[in-house]
Amino acid sequence: MRVLVIGRTGQIATELLPRLAAAGHAAEALEPPGFDMTDAAQVADAFARTRPEAVVNCAAYTAVDRAEDERALAFAVNATGPRLLGEAAARAGVPVLHYSTDYVFDGTKDAPYSEADAPDPVGAYGASKLAGELLLHLAQPRSVTLRTAWVCSPFGNNFVKTMLRLGQDRPELRVVADQQGAPTFAADLAEAAVTLLPRLAAAPAGDPVFGVAHLTGAPYTTWHGFAEAIFAGAARRGQPAPKVTAITTADYPTKARRPANSRLDCTRAATVLGIPPKDWRAGLDACLDALMTKDQAA
Ligand SMILES: NC(=O)C1=CN([C@@H]2O[C@H](COP(=O)(O)OP(=O)(O)OC[C@H]3O[C@@H](n4cnc5c(N)ncnc54)[C@H](OP(=O)(O)O)[C@@H]3O)[C@@H](O)[C@H]2O)C=CC1
Ligand SMILES: Cc1cn([C@H]2C[C@H](O)[C@@H](COP(=O)(O)OP(=O)(O)O[C@H]3O[C@@H](C)C(=O)[C@@H](O)[C@H]3O)O2)c(=O)[nH]c1=O
Ligand SMILES: [Mg+2]
**Residue 240 is assigned to a structural domain of this protein:** no
Residue 188, domain extent:
2-157+183-219+263-278
Which residues, 6+ apart, have CB-to-CB distance to 127 below 8 Å? 75, 121
Which residues, 6+ apart, have CB-to-CB distance to 246 below 8 Å? 175, 176, 177, 224
Number of the ligand closest to the Cα of 32: 1
**Residue 177 is assigned to a structural domain of this protein:** no
pLDDT for the residue numbered 294: 58
Number of the ligand closest to the Cα of 6: 1
SS3 97: strand
Mean pLDDT of the residues in the chain: 97
**Residue 229 is assigned to a structural domain of this protein:** no
pLDDT for the residue numbered 25: 98
Model pLDDT for residues 50-86, shown as the tens digit of each residue: 999 999 999 999 999 999 999 999 999 999 999 999 9
ipTM comes to 0.98
Q: How many other β-carbons are positioned within 10 Å of the β-carbon of residue 51?
A: 11
CA distance 137 to 225: 35
CB 173 within 8 A of CB 245: yes
SS3 266: coil
Model pLDDT for residues 154-182, shown as the tens digit of each residue: 999 999 999 999 999 999 999 999 999 99
Model pLDDT for residues 29-46, shown as the tens digit of each residue: 999 999 999 999 999 999
pLDDT value at 297 more than 60? no
Q: Left (φ > 0), alpha (ψ -120 to 50) or beta: where does 241 sit?
A: beta
CA distance 240 to 38: 42
State in Å: Cα 186 to ligand 3 middle. 16
Catalytically annotated residue among 61, 103, 113, 125:
125
Share of the chain above pLDDT 70, in %: 98
CA distance 250 to 1: 49
**Residue 286 is assigned to a structural domain of this protein:** no
Catalytic status, residue 125: yes
Kindly state the average pLDDT of the residues 231-237.
97
Phi, psi of 285 (to 5 degrees): -60, -45
**Residue 59 is assigned to a structural domain of this protein:** yes
**Residue 137 is assigned to a structural domain of this protein:** yes
* Band of pLDDT at residue 293, cut at 50, 70 and 90: confident
pLDDT value at 298 more than 70? no
User: Is residue 159 in contact with ligand 2, taking CB distance under 6 Å?
Assistant: yes
State in Å: Cα 254 to ligand 2 middle. 10
Query: Which residue owns the Cα nearest ligand 2 atom 4?
Result: 175
What is the number of structural domains in the chain?
1
State in Å: Cα 85 to ligand 3 middle. 20
Q: What is the CATH number of the domain that holds 267?
A: 3.40.50.720
CA angle 42, 46, 50 (to 5 degrees): 170
Phi, psi of 97 (to 5 degrees): -110, 125
Model pLDDT for residues 89-148, shown as the tens digit of each residue: 999 999 999 999 999 999 999 999 999 999 999 999 999 999 999 999 999 999 999 999
CB 145 within 8 A of CB 98: yes
pTM: 0.97
CA distance 273 to 268: 7
